[in-house]
Amino acid sequence: MKIKQIALTAALVCAATGAFAQTSSVTLYGSLDQYFNYLKSSADTSTNTIRSLNDGSTMRSRIGFKGVEDLGDGLAVKFQLEGGLGADTGASADTTRFFDRQAWVGLASTTLGEVRFGRQNGSVFARGDYVDYTSRTLGSVVNAFGVPSRYDNDISYVSPRLSGFQFDGHYALAETTVSTTNAGVYQLGADYLNGPFRVGYASITGKAPKDATYTRSVTYRQVYGNYDYGQGKVYATFIRTNNSTSSGTAGSATFLSNGSAILGNVGGTVAGTKADVNRYYNIIQLSADYKVTPQLRVGALYGVIKDTSDNKMGAKGGAIGAYYDLSKRTTLVASLSTLNNDDNGSFQPSGSAGLATKFTTAADVTGKRINDLALGIVHRF
């Protein structure tokens, strides 16, 4: 009898253990994205050409872990840890931390939505696939301007999709003394999907400290739409933002008109020290792609960055690209793009990762046309 009881107990334990094992999972994943890049400026200088091996034309090289534990009744715990890599050198994308891309944990309900806590992709960044044929990467004029991506100390909510609508919101705490600042990063998003049609809105607001020199908020407002016609999609987007500022290079001996973002593209808050917060840009971009074969997709886009302060600090440009799937995990990429800067504009191409090697003097960038040819391979695992 005792032997039977022991055997029965062991069987129940094994069954319970197996049940738990089936409701919890952890996945290791990643990508390697390498491409040869040929950058050419219209400047008549000895430094107007760059040849380099870069990381991240369409998908920044990365390694990550994600997991889910089913708690029952439609409730689950989720987490994600993701770090960017420079596969051309083997270095971490951010030398101050490994999981620079995402590090969050959250609760998800099939009926109520999902709440996340930690560093995570934002409302604008998460909608890259909806903006143009590049998924807003190398060749995209929108991406050349700069796209706010993710923030530390972020609390978010994503709703379930109901009648085609889905909403999300984020609040990234500045984690400073409340009595001296109202700084923080706020994000909102709405997406509507109905058959082949998709339209949506995404926004970011970065508030400066209330006692800062420049207290105007940094904003990024985007509307988008696309239509799936079967063999491909057509895309359109409009953005209004003041998230661009000047920067010095080479020890500030040279000066670029559009050097960086006021509200960091990959984290941080608004310090309130940049006068450029008073300059707004309108960005308009049209794009389309076409599936030539099940393996080959081609696309094109055209975009304009308009400096609405009339200081001629914008640009216009376009791109054509091709993607050939060798398998479900491996894709060959080819891209040819151009950016024609206004007299005082200084924009350069950018991929999923910023160019590791780019022009560093105003003579090669400001008011110049920048042409870019990229040939690469992306492998996902």
Condensed to tens digits (0 to 9), the pLDDT of residues 264-282 reads: 888 888 989 999 999 999 9
- Of the candidates 301, 302, 303, 310, the residue with the CA atom closest to the CA atom of residue 345: 310
Render the burial of 268-303: b for 16+ CB within 10 Å, e for the rest. Answer: bbbebebebbebebebbbbbbbeeeeeeebbbbbeb
Please answer whether residues 125 and 147 qualify as being in contact, where contact means their C-beta atoms are separated by less than 8 angstroms: yes
Does residue 295 sit in helix, strand or coil? Answer: coil
Of 16-25, 146-155, 335-344, least confident by mean pLDDT is 16-25
pLDDT at 19 (0 to 100):
47
- Residue 134: exposure state from Cβ atoms within 10 A (0-12, 13-18, ≥19): buried
pLDDT at 328 over 90: yes
pTM of the model: 0.91
pLDDT at 248 (0 to 100):
63
pLDDT at 7 over 90: no
CA 8/CA 277 separation, integer angstroms: 71
Rounded to 5°, angle at Cα 297 from 294 and 299: 155
Q: What is the mean pLDDT of the segment spanning 238-242?
A: 98
Q: What are the tens digits of pLDDT across the range 66-103?
A: 999 999 999 999 999 999 999 999 999 998 999 999 99
pLDDT at 8 (0 to 100):
43
pLDDT at 2 over 50: no
- Residue 17 binned pLDDT confidence (cut-offs 50, 70, 90): very low
- Residue 332 binned pLDDT confidence (cut-offs 50, 70, 90): very high
How big is the chain, counted in residues? 381
CA 353/CA 89 separation, integer angstroms: 14
* DSSP assignment of 235-275: EEEEEEE---EEEEETTTTEEEEEEE-SS-TTS----S--G
Which is more confidently placed, 265 or 308? 308
Q: What are the tens digits of pLDDT across the range 179-236?
A: 566 789 999 999 999 999 999 999 999 999 888 899 999 999 999 999 999 999 999 9
Does residue 134 sit in helix, strand or coil? Answer: coil
- Residue 249 binned pLDDT confidence (cut-offs 50, 70, 90): low
CATH architecture under which domain 27-380 falls: Beta Barrel (2.40)
pLDDT at 10 over 80: no
